Amino acid sequence: MARYALLSRRLLASRPRMHGTARTFATATAPDQQRPSSDYRVKLVEVGPRDGLQNEKNSIPLATKLDLIDRLAKTGLTTIEAGSFVSPKWVPQMENSSEILQHLLTKPPSSPHPLTFSFLAPNLKGLNNAFSVLSQHPTAFATESFPAQPTKPALEIAVFASATESFSQRNLNASIAASLAGFRQVIQAAKDTHSLRVRGYISVVLGCPFEGYDVSPHRVAEVATALLEMGADEIALGDTTGMGTAPRTKELLACLAAAGVRNEDVAMHFHDTYGQALVNTAVALEHGIRTFDCSVGGLGGCPYSPGATGNVATEDMVYFMETLGMDTGVDLDAVVDVGEWITREIGKGNASTVGKAVLGARRRAEADPAKEK
């Protein structure tokens, strides 16, 4: 907590003085010595509908998944990971991703903001399955005008690499080198055929379930630069096991910077297995990273990482960012409602500490309104 307070003081001390709410941005006329308003904007990528649900044992109805995406789109979140074109043999929960994509193209959620939907396509077969849906609606999504238009969603394809050979074999049944060779084809096809944006995930960057803490930041940098050189637009660094610590997060980001990877090309994807997700988020913020993945209700896990719990909760991330004076554009109360709904819907406990706290405060206010005032 002391680190959070220090980071908050550093961010707010350099932020232009403003009237009104704490989350109002400075204008373009701010003096040169003041930090630009964009430095306080944080992009949250909601991964609940894909990464959050993929490991659930009980089949989740398509209608529930579509309802979840629709509810999330109304909270101010603008980028939502919606599905995965992988073999249903390995990830049965994602078998209706084609139907999800079809629905989003024909009946996109209503939102005052442009929306982007991301789908995992780890190989050409998966990508072609996505293409078969896209070809039926060639004008239904934004391409050259990425990011999306208010009336058309933008689509993004994601590929998954690994920072260790052991995890690569378990997750992709291929070496790192072989997986990268396959991703080159996927990235090129995604861009050449439909002008799609591509996100490159790198798993187990701060700890591997099979190789422990011995994950070289230099190897992560090598994989990241390889993906960027292939045409990936963004690299999401995944602490898949939640083993990351503040010093190791700092070392990793310093190594990437030394390798020439820009902060604007990096997103952080933290799991909270050891309760360090927000600590590591603070380190990344201080380094200059402004894109973070999160999952409503703290849903998630990894089928190839035994013991790994969910992603950092969206509710916790929004609240944490707000306490630091950052602007996510996301309505905390609305996200809390979605987290409570989806965890009950699938019969799972709500893993968001902030979500539970907000709900508890509401119940107390309803029970004794005068006392709450």
pLDDT digits (tens, 9 = 90+) for 151-200: 789 999 999 999 999 999 988 889 999 999 999 999 999 999 999 999 99
**Is there a domain that residue 57 lies in?**
yes
List % helix, strand, coil for the chain (3-state, nearest 5).
45, 15, 40
Q: What is the pTM of this model?
A: 0.88
Confidence of residue 16 (pLDDT cuts 50, 70, 90): very low
> What does the pLDDT look like over 97-140, one tens digit per residue?
999 999 999 999 988 789 999 999 999 999 999 999 999 998 88
CB atoms within 10 A of CB 304: 19
**Is there a domain that residue 314 lies in?**
yes
**Is there a domain that residue 302 lies in?**
yes
Confidence of residue 310 (pLDDT cuts 50, 70, 90): confident
Active site residue 208: no
Q: Total structural domains in the chain?
A: 1
Judged against a pLDDT cut of 90, whether residue 25 lies above it is answered with: no
What are 322's two structure tokens? 């707000």
Over the chain, what is the mean pLDDT?
Answer: 88
Torsion, Cα of 152, 51, 292, 327 (10° steps): 60
Q: Where are the beta strands (DSSP E) in the chain?
A: 43-46, 79-84, 116-120, 154-162, 197-203, 234-239, 266-270, 291-294
Q: For the domain that residue 78 is a member of, what is the CATH number?
A: 3.20.20.70
Domain that holds residue 210: 37-372
Residue 112 per-residue DSSP state: S
What local confidence, expressed as pLDDT, does residue 308 receive?
Answer: 61
C-alpha 101: how far from chain center? 18
**Is there a domain that residue 10 lies in?**
no
Measured over the CA atoms of residue 83, residue 89, residue 92 and residue 95, the dihedral's sign is positive
Please tell me whether the peptide bond between 303 and the residue prior to it is cis, using omega within 30 degrees of 0. no
What are 291's two structure tokens? 């894109």
What local confidence, expressed as pLDDT, does residue 28 receive?
Answer: 32
The residue annotated as part of the active site, out of 208, 255, 294, 302, is 302
**Is there a domain that residue 284 lies in?**
yes
What stretch of H or E contains 176?
helix 176-194
Cβ(92)–Cβ(54) below 8 Å:
no
**Is there a domain that residue 321 lies in?**
yes
Tell me the pairing of strands 116-120 and 43-46.
Answer: unpaired
In DSSP terms, 157 is beta-bridged to: 119, 198
**Is there a domain that residue 12 lies in?**
no
C-alpha 361: how far from chain center? 28
**Is there a domain that residue 17 lies in?**
no
Torsion, Cα of 39, 145, 84, 238 (10° steps): -20
